[in-house]
Structure 1
Amino acid sequence: MNYTNVLRSSLGTFVTRIGLSVAVFLGIFYLAVATSPVVLGIYSLFIAVIRVLDLLTNVGISEAAQKRISEGTERDEFFTATLVVRLGLFVPVGISVTIYHQQIATYIGSGLVVPFLFAGSFTFLVRKTIEAGLVGEKKVAQAGLLQSVYAIGQLMSWILFVSFGYGLFGVLLGYVIGQTVASVVGLLLLELRLKRPTVQHFRSLFEFAKYSWIGAVTTQSWIWTDTLVLGLFVVSSFIGVYELSWQITGVLFLLASAISSTLFANISELSIHDETERITDLLERSLVYTGILAIPGVVGGMIFAEPLLAIFGEEYRVGATVVAVLILSRLFHSYEVVFGNVINALDRPDLMFRTNVVFILVNLVLNVVAVTTIGWVGAALATTGAMILKTGLSYRYIRSILTFSVPIEEILLEVLSALIMGACLWFLVPVSSTLLPFETIVFISLGAAIYAVSVLLLVERVRIATADVFRSLLRIKA
């Protein structure tokens, strides 16, 4: 397997996720400017509750579907079985929301959200099931495209409804519209069709899901535990600032996410044929690029966190420390997600089960303790600490089943490139004055250029791979 093809596929997925990041960024920017931190906070809690409801209708089935469908046999039956299970679980979840609607409304901060929880949860369920099918078909980039379609559809709806004065109602309706549009597009891209499954298909899914469900819980725990805990102790305006900070740091994780998704599909296939050497080679090469965005992000975040937040409004400046801490968590998560996806692709979800149980418990306990003692910044510190622990555990387990070498030299050269960038910016950025939005963007772009040049000059493998990808793309265009 030519790694250039894997890297090109990862870059394709990365590009679609850049589109997603831009759409999400513009959406959050619009809400921050057109509404208030309170509305943004209510919306964030609304999304967090939807993700909790999604866990109850998923229980690892979507992750199991990706694995079974990617193996290439009886794909239609596995996809249909996945949809049947998830829709069946949606019924008791919907009944529970009806029973506890008053408590949910009080927690989120508005009674308006409850009707939208039904529509939002259902459309999200459909979209995620379709995405699982696309990933199983190795259409990782197309699966990522659905997220961009959702974000763009939501953004356009927000602009329309909020500008006409519909406020929070328009924000929630925009979410449902975005999910619906993405689901329709996904159906057009999906080659899988409904086909009657047998008991064996359900049994096979549950066999994998009995371990992978904890992975699904972990993913949502990683993203939403801090928000859910903040909802208990902090006012909506601070939650809005926190979520904005989280979204800003998300761009640093995009390449690692794309690489891990591409690796899962390819290594899953290689594992069927016991091609250990090729699996090891893919992993070692991928680790060179995994942190290539997050590493400079740690340095850049310490310099630009406050002026970057100020672009959204002066009231968001208070989140500068949160941004700096969350960037560090994104760096560790970049490596952890690669280790975790490779372990699952090697059909060892039992190992990730152990890691995820520890992470969930530690993350929850640390968040409660930190938020109640330190305040809302404690949520970022707790989340980062839990992710560092999970990364260490994932590394330990992958070393127990696969012998590979970490490209330490290349990673250290990336760190050196980030420090070179930081040193240049230290002399160029006026520390004493407040940066204007345009100046902030210019300096961030300059820092990115300095880092890119440094990496290309110092890291030979990156330089060669970049040239190979460009030559490959030029041949395709020709």
Structure 2
Amino acid sequence: MNIGRSSLKLFAAQFGSSILQFLGIAYFARVLGPSPLGVFFLFQALLGMLAIPANFGLSGAVEKRISEGKSQGAYLSSAIVLKITPLILIVVTILLFQSLINNYLGDDLAILLAVAIILQEASQLSIAVLKGELRVGETAILQVTRQIAWVGVGTAFVSLGFGSVALIYGLLTGLCLVLVWGWYKVSIIPDKPSREHAHSLIEYSKYNAVSSIGGYFYNWMDVAIIGLFLTQAHVGAYEIAWRVTSIVILLSRSIATTIFPQISKWDSKDAQDRIEDLLPQVLTPSLILVIPAFFGTVVLSEEILGLLFGSEYTIASLALIILMFDQVTEAGQVVLGRSLQAVNRPDLAARATVAGVVINLGLNLALVKPFGITGAAVATMIASLISGLLLHGFYLSQIVPIKIPSLELASCAIAAVGMTILIQTVIVIVGVGSIAKLLIMVALGAVIYTILLFSSPRMRTKMKIYFETISTRESQ
């Protein structure tokens, strides 16, 4: 597997998917308003939380074991068997408590939730298998397809007056397409399942599940608590802010996703020196976009929400700034966390995640009611910093020495500060009163940041070495 090309291919697909999603959300936000959009986000929150017991870390275990290159067919069939029972129990539970679920969501959506969890888990398993086959780049098109289906079908049903349920129909359509296409692409043929292979999957997944819980927790628990204490309109505004920040971390996630199976393979061959050499090479590219995005958001948060989505969403302006800072720590965490799992230490990743879950839950319960959605953003930021970055980094450093590229990251920060000063000066002179002016400011900021960053000979040399090195690194 070529790590560089796979990372860029996945990043391009994720970026395209996010732009589609961003445009779709902007359209739906204006047409539907925050309350119906909040219903859809609550639906996604429940779907994400139900995925915790439905998957229980199994997808990550499948990716890890298949990437090791042994008994792949047996691992696949054993994973399928392990998934059936929890899925049945979850669907039955949804049907038994559908009235409570419908009341919480604000619409009759429990049946669609049961369908969604089945489609989601089946489609995600196919993606995990492809990643385990070191075919990470091939999963890129599946992500684009899912977003195209969501936006296209959602738009069609919204125009017919279906409201929030239109977005759910789009979601289900996208999951169906990924399910069919993903399994069509899988080349591993299921073999006879065995207790030995099932036990091996469970041994890994029981720790990986905790890390998975952390991921879903940060994505959806604050939304669920906001829905409990505040209104659906607050849910909609907060989630819009979260979706905006998620775009800037795409390159970081692409790199983390791509290096996982490769590090796993090297770890199985005791090639620790290759892992140690790789980590500093990917840390700077992982943070190179999120640092200027944070500084840019400080001066443009209200305009981003108000002009793109509507004035009713500007209540999340401060939350947007806080969540964007959270993405800076998240960018480092996704690389370090996935690397820790790849070296077969999901137990340590689980410890870090448990700390984050406890901190996040406690702070959300304490801060959401008195401080609203700003409190939820602060809770997520603090938990992510302590658990996501510091603890994952500490545990990984006990196994593989981590060399932090401090000078390169400092160069990114200095260039971002310079960009912010210049952009703020331009804003004072011409203002930002339209979407066109906002887009011009964003583009101008990107140009200024790039010029300032690469005016440093050190950064030019480092990035050249990175691309030359990473583009020729193949698995062996």
TM-score, normalised via structure 1 length: 0.94
Q: What amino acid maps onto 1:282 in structure 2?
A: L
Corresponding residue for residue 234 of structure 1 = 230
| Residues 224-280 of structure 1 deviation map (CA, whole Å, 9 limit, x = unaligned) | 111011110111011101111000011111111011111111111111111111111
Check whether the contact 1:222–1:383 (CA below 8 A) recurs between aligned residues.
yes
Find 2:203's aligned residue among 207, 212, 216.
207
Instruction: Describe the SS at the equivalent of 1:457.
Output: coil
Q: 2:144 aligns to what SS in structure 1?
A: helix
Q: Which residue of 2 aligns with 1:476?
A: none
2:326, 2:26 → 1: CA distance?
Answer: 23
Q: What is residue 354 of structure 2 aligned with on the other side?
A: 357
Which stretch of the first structure deviates more once superposed, 34-43 or 190-199?
Answer: 190-199
Which of these residues, 430, 447, 450, is aligned with residue 448 of structure 2?
450
Q: Does 1:336 align with 2:333?
A: yes
C-alpha deviations, 1:75-110, integer Å up to 9, x for none? 122122222211221111111111111111111122
Number of the residue aligned with 1:146: 142
Q: 1:414 corresponds to which residue?
A: 412
2:301 matches 1:305? yes
The one of 36, 58, 62 equivalent to 2:59 is 62
Deviation at 1:472, TM superposition (A): 10
Tell me the secondary structure at the aligned position of residue 69 of structure 2: coil
CA distance in structure 1 between the aligned counterparts of 2:416 and 2:65, rounded to whole angstroms: 40
Q: How far is 1:385 from its partner?
A: 0.6
Where structure 2 has 5 or more consecutive residues not aligned to the other structure, the ranges are 472-476
The residue correspondences of 1:10-49 to structure 2 (distance < 5 A) are 10-49=7-46
Secondary structure at the counterpart of residue 398 of structure 2: helix
Which runs of structure 2 are paired with 1:260-275 in the superposition (5 Å)? Answer: 260-275=256-271
Name the aligned partner's letter for residue 412 of structure 1: A
Which residue does the alignment assign to 1:252? 248
Tell me the number of residue pairs that the alignment of Structure 1 and Structure 2 aligns: 469
User: In the TM superposition, what whole-angstrom CA distance separates every residue of 1:59-82 from its partner, at most 9, and x where no partner exists?
Assistant: 111111110011111212212222
Cα displacement string for residues 403-452 of structure 1 (whole angstroms, at most 9, x for unaligned residues):
23111011000101111111110211137845211100111011011112
2:207 is the counterpart of 1:179: no
CA distance in structure 1 between the aligned counterparts of 2:121 and 2:238, rounded to whole angstroms: 26
Distance apart, 1:380 and its partner CA: 0.5
For the 8 Å contact 1:414–1:459, the answer to whether it is kept is: no
**Whole-Å separation in 2 of the counterparts to 1:287 and 1:316:** 33
Give the secondary-structure state (helix, strand or coil) at the position aligned to 1:430. helix
Secondary structure of the structure 2 residue equivalent to 1:372? helix
CA RMSD of aligned residues (A): 1.9
Tell me if structure 2 keeps the 8 A contact 1:65–1:133. Answer: yes
The range that moved more, 98-107 or 422-431, is 422-431
1:163-194, Cα deviation, whole Å (9 max, x unpaired): 11122232221111111112122123221233
Return the letter of the residue paired with 1:389: I
Distance across 1 between alignment mates of 2:8 and 2:460:
13
Alignment partner, residue 88 of structure 2 = 91
Tell me the CA shift for residue 132 of structure 1.
0.7
Q: Do the aligned partners of 2:360 and 2:379 also contact (CA within 8 Å) in 1?
A: yes
Question: Structure 1 residues 467, 345: CA separation in 2 closer, same or farther (over 3 Å shift)?
Answer: closer
Q: Counterpart of 2:283?
A: 287
- 1:6 Cα deviation after fit: 2.5
2: CA distance between counterparts of 1:253 and 1:214? 22
| CA distances 1:313-336 after superposition (whole Å, capped 9, x unpaired) | 121122111110000111101101
Alpha-carbon deviation of 1:454?
A: 2.0
Percent identity, please. 28
Determine if the alignment matches structure 1 residue 125 to structure 2 residue 121: yes
Moved over 6 A (4+): 470-473
Separation of aligned partners in 2, 1:372 and 1:318: 15
Does 2:163 correspond to 1:167? yes
Deviation at 1:470, TM superposition (A): 8.8
Residues 1:380 and 2:352 aligned together:
no
Shift of 1:196: 2.1
Q: Equivalent residue for 2:474?
A: none
| Other-structure match for 1:427 | 425
Amino acid at match of 1:134: L
User: Judging changes above 3 Å, is the alpha-carbon distance between structure 1 residues 411 and 464 closer, same or farther for their aligned structure 2 residues?
Assistant: closer
The worse-fitting range, judged by mean Cα deviation, of 372-381 and 235-244 is 372-381
| Partner amino acid, structure 2, of 1:318 | I
| Equivalent AA in structure 1 for residue 377 of structure 2 | A
C-alpha distance in structure 1 between counterparts of 2:354 and 2:29, whole Å: 35
Which residues of structure 1 form unaligned runs of 5+?
474-478
Distance (Å, rounded) in 1 between the aligned partners of 2:462 and 2:410: 18
SS in 1 for 2:252: helix
Give 2:99's aligned residue: 102
The worse-fitting range, judged by mean Cα deviation, of 401-410 and 79-88 is: 79-88
Pick from 183, 190, 193 the counterpart of residue 186 of structure 2.
Answer: 190
* Contact 2:4/2:470 (<8 A) preserved: no
Report the Cα distance in structure 2 between the residues aligned to 1:462 and 1:180, rounded to whole angstroms.
44
Structure 1 residue 33: Cα displacement:
1.8
Seen in structure 2, the aligned counterparts of structure 1 residues 75 and 472 have a Cα distance that, compared at 3 Å, is: closer
Shift of 1:466: 4.7
Deviations 1:444-469 (A, max 9, x none): 01101111222222263555545885
- The one-letter code matched in structure 2 to 1:402 is V
- Counterparts of 1:264 and 1:101, CA distance in 2: 38
Aligned to 1:74: 71
Query: 2:329, 2:375 → 1: CA distance?
Result: 18
Deviation sequence 1:152-171 (CA, Å, 0-9, x none): 10110011111111222322
TM-score (norm 2): 0.95
The amino acid that maps onto 1:315 is E
Contact map agreement 1:226 1:367 (CA 8 A) in 2: yes
